[in-house]
Homo-oligomer: A and B are copies of this chain.
Amino acid sequence: MTGPDFDDTFRTRLDQLFAWRRDVRHFRRDSLPEGAIDELLDLASHGPSVGNAQPWRFVRVLSPGRRAALAVHADAHKVAAGQAYDDERKALYDRLKLHGLREAPEVLAVLCDEPGAAGQGLGRMTMPETLCWSVIAAIHTLWLAARARGIGMGWVSILDPAAMNALLDVPDDWRFIALLCLGYPADESETPELVRHGWQDRLPAAATRFNR
């Protein structure tokens, strides 16, 4: 079988997609088109998974009460995590917006169903963490597919994962991975927000590449 022949025009656009994907925290409030979330989840389900285990479980948060509880929870954890910084960095930290849980039109939680995973254990006997890593690749697929549709995504990790299963009313043995906000971004940039705010620059290539 011969696959699609991707050309230079496509590659140029794909490289722009990588460059313009952002972790979005500022959202417009308008809704996504009908069916957009299902389309994105169809694409995310083409992400790689160890042994084809497909352990991702996507929970669309529709209840306003549940969403409000998630926002309150994340706000409290932002305050708690801020105690670690000294004065100057703390002032910068306090100005960072770290989630759009109140504004984004869609909130998804993503979990890893470790006991329910398919794939007969293939590829994960010595590295069991590859199962949850498969969920990360699905989330990243979702991120890119969304951005190609003009939809921004933000990953919220400033929260207590142990509190999430009860809050989301999902089985205790699913491992919580991520809380995602989706919606149209209030603005677009090729530069990550944390670079623009002086939190953390990009590293030079030489710091991350080695020959052996």
Contact = CB atoms under 8 A, between A and B. Distances in A.
A52 B189 contact: no
A203 B54 contact: yes
A16 B199 CA distance: 36
A136 interface: yes
B144 A10 contact: no
A148 B38 CA distance: 25
A140 to B, nearest CB: 4
A97 interface: no
A165 to B, nearest CB: 11
Nearest to A130: B157
Contacts of A211: 59-60, 62
A71 interface: no
A200 B120 contact: yes
Nearest to A167: B212
A136 B56 CA distance: 15
B126 A77 contact: yes
A77 B84 CA distance: 42
Contacts of A56: 208
A195 B52 contact: yes
Contact of A200 (B4, B17, B119, B177): B119
Residue in A56, A144, A192 whose Cβ sees the most chain B Cβ within 10 Å? A144
Interface string A109-128: 10000000011111111110
Contacts of A208: 41, 45, 54, 56-58
Given A60-B212, A212-B169, A122 B199 contact: yes
Contacts of A205: 38, 41-42, 45
Interface of A: 1-4, 6, 10-11, 13-21, 23, 38, 41-43, 45-48, 50-54, 56-63, 66, 77, 80-81, 84-85, 89, 93, 96, 98, 109, 118-127, 130, 133, 136-137, 139-141, 143-145, 147-150, 155, 157-161, 168-170, 177, 187-190, 192, 194-195, 199-203, 205, 208-212
